[in-house]
Structure 1
Amino acid sequence: RCRFAYSPAFETLAAVRVATGPQPPGHHRRWLTDVGDALRRLDLRPLTLLQPRRGYTPDFLSPPPDGPADIADELARIAATPPLQARAEIARSLADTPGASRTATGRLLLDGEPAGVVALLAGLVADAWEALVEPYWPRTRALLEADIAFQARRLADGGLDRLFAELHPSVRWHDGVLTREHGGADHRDLHGEGLVLMPSAFKWDQVVIVLDPPWQPTLIYPARGVGNLWQEDAGADAHAAALARLVGRTRARLLTGLAQPAATAWLAHRYGLAPATVSEHLAVLRDTGLVTAARHRHEVRYRRTELGDLLAGSGTPQRASARTREATARAK
């Protein structure tokens, strides 16, 4: 009973988190620039407060779908959440952020009439969808559908063993148990319930699991190739285009994508590339002094050098010219 799905409501919540949360936007910087004006017109504080940096986000705000979902159906499901269930999930979420329940927004969510709070939150999800995600949904949906097609072929070739073993670098499959790295002690025995596997474009940085009844057990993972989602926009950027001409498009993507240290498997998943291809390009970048590698536990992680930062557009402008000339000579 394992199956794939995607959720416009979940993408909307994740987009709100990217746009308003403390974590960096990662591959969505260009999207964030595009939606800046629309974002400033929205008051998303209730949704933001219910998405703690570390902790529980109410499941009723993006209920796990049975399959590829329609936003209208999802909004109807959110609005139909039993008020007492919604209040219990809200209280649990607020408890994960110290002081949240004492803020004006927290008091509104906890002390307001429960049915009215559900309607308020459903309306905010709808507003955020229209402003932040709907204009970009065709390309986002195409990415999610491409991931599902790829994973379905992997399932056909190697069964569930291969699918789960290669689904995402932070997921481990052994002896009938699916484990998320750094996932805590929570667990759920499926007992034939099945599992929804849901790729996400805006939840680009980690795997999320839904375990609590009455919701369908769900594993949400970053979609394969999410690093290419805004590729057309990147092509219009003069610096990105020049870098691609200098070192090649794939190497340019890998170099700019190493804002944080990452292992080969993570980069391969992020950009939809074969691990061997990533390794080959990283070797060239390392040999030319643009990246360096260091072992971290069971994996080797790559990060940009100062020279790599300069070429990627993250270095000190005053020194960029000389260092860029040096990089050009070394790359040749």
Structure 2
Amino acid sequence: MVLLRLSSLALSRSRFALSPLAETLGSMSVLTKPCSDPWLLPWYTRHHDAFRAALDADPFAKGLVELIGSTKYLPGYVTLPPSGGMRTALADELAPVAAARDEAVRADLEAAVTHSWQRHDLRWLTGHGWGARTADLFRYTWHTHVVADWPRRRALLERDVSYRAGLLAAYGWPRALQQMNRRSAWVGTDAIRFSHQPGPDRVVGEDGMLFVPVCVTSGTWLSEEPPDRYALVYPARGAAAVDPGRREPERALARLIGTGRAVVLHELARPATSTELAGRLGQSLGTVGGHLAVLRDADLIAGTRVGRRVVYRRTEAGDLLAGQCTA
């Protein structure tokens, strides 16, 4: 079992961040496999063929992406913790990737091959400047296949951060970490369980831990930068829960609580503020606020204050009602 150990100071300084690099890495893995995520399926359909064609034209890119998508050890030079918080820019993340020395890149890739569940070789690792070539691949994938979808993705990621920040403010880190992924959990008073697999514990530095959501539903990995910087990358809450094009609630729920409130309850499968709901639904703040008040009084939703905002989420009763009426 791998534990991430935090001092009280490190815990107090832990925070959330976004990573275009992590989002791009996860997206590349998605594009090489069949997609079962309804939230990403329209994007996948638009980009899958072109991405595969680009890989087929570049043996280095194809070998690297296929290895990344089939190993339990992601190469360390492409999984460094982001340094820009919620405003991290891809260019800043790619600078150390491009600067990685060839011997360090080869060592990382050999470790990835050792931990892969498929057979790989590194015959595609030819020439030199592998760090720069990797950075070029990530830059191409971001600008060609991800950046147009980034506003939609970023909105979902920010909602996840707002939701967990509300839990953090109200209940502390153990509650904020609940269901972040299938393996992670709070252990005792000073540690996070990252994996059930055997391995050495990590000691998080005094600057604290980073928690980085991504939109791919199977994306979970630990980013490390020696000696003591760590980031836990995890699937954002609600990424695959609802088809984003769907706006009409099921008739049974609408008959029960009214069409307007049914729409709001469905939308809150992903936590949101009243302003976000109004924008997504094309309704006034007053209308949305009225629906929220009724749903809250019925204990179908709850609100958590995060700074000056209130983030609303469905309660267990709300989840149950929505599920029963759409089964």
Shorter-normalised TM range: 0.5 to 0.7
Which structure has the higher relative contact order (CA within 8 Å, separation 6+)? 2
Matched residue of 1:226: which SS? coil
* Residue from 234, 238, 257 that aligns with 1:225: 238
The number of equivalent residue pairs is 254
Q: 2:120 aligns with which of 80, 88, 100?
A: 100
Match of 2:54 in 1: 42
Distance, in Å, in 2 between the alignment partners of 1:28 and 1:55 is 23
CA distance change for structure 1 residues 9 and 253 in 2, over 3 Å: closer, same or farther? same
Counterpart amino acid of residue 62 in structure 2: R
Residue by residue over 1:24-60, the C-alpha shift from the partner in whole angstroms, topping out at 9 and shown as x without a partner, is 4453111111224532442141332231434111121
Tell me, which stretches of 5 or more residues in structure 2 are unaligned?
A: 1-12, 56-60, 255-262, 270-312
Cα distance in 2 for partners of 1:137, 1:229 equals 18
The whole-number CA distance in structure 2 between the counterparts of 1:213 and 1:89 is 14
Aligned twin of 1:3:
15
Greater helix share, 1 or 2? 1
Counterpart of 2:145, as a letter, is L
Does residue 281 (structure 1) correspond to residue 297 (structure 2)? The answer is no
State the shift of 1:284 in Å: 4.4
Deviation at 1:160, TM superposition (A): 2.3
SS of match in other structure, 2:18: coil
CA distance in 2: counterparts of 1:215 and 1:24, whole angstroms: 36
For residue 115 of structure 2, what is the amino acid of its counterpart?
D
Pairwise CA RMSD of aligned residues?
3.1
Please list, as runs of the form range in 1=range in 2, the aligned pairs for 1:289-308 lying within 5 A after superposition.
290=327
Kindly, what percent of the aligned residue pairs are identical? 28
C-alpha contact 2:71 2:113 (8 A) present in aligned 1: no
1:15 corresponds to which of 5, 27, 49: 27
Match of 1:137 in 2: 150
User: In structure 2, the residue corresponding to 1:199 is in which secondary structure?
Assistant: strand
Show the counterpart of 2:93. Answer: 74
2:268–2:314 contact (8 Å) kept in structure 1:
no
* Contact residue 19 and residue 25 of structure 1 kept, 8 A: no
The alpha carbon displacement at 1:283 in A equals 3.9
Distance in 2 of aligned mates of 1:23 and 1:37:
13
Aligned pairs for 1:150-161 (under 5 A) are: 150-161=163-174
Q: What is the one-letter code of the residue matched to 1:61? A: V
- Would the aligned equivalents of 1:207 and 1:221 in 2 still touch at CA under 8 Å? yes
Closer/same/farther in 2, CA of residues 177 and 120 from structure 1, 3 Å limit? same
Q: In the superposition, relative to structure 1, how do residues 215 and 56 fare at CA in structure 2: closer, same or farther (>3 Å)?
A: farther
Q: TM-score, normalised by structure 1?
A: 0.66
| Structure 2 CA distance for aligned equivalents of residues 225 and 11 of structure 1 | 16
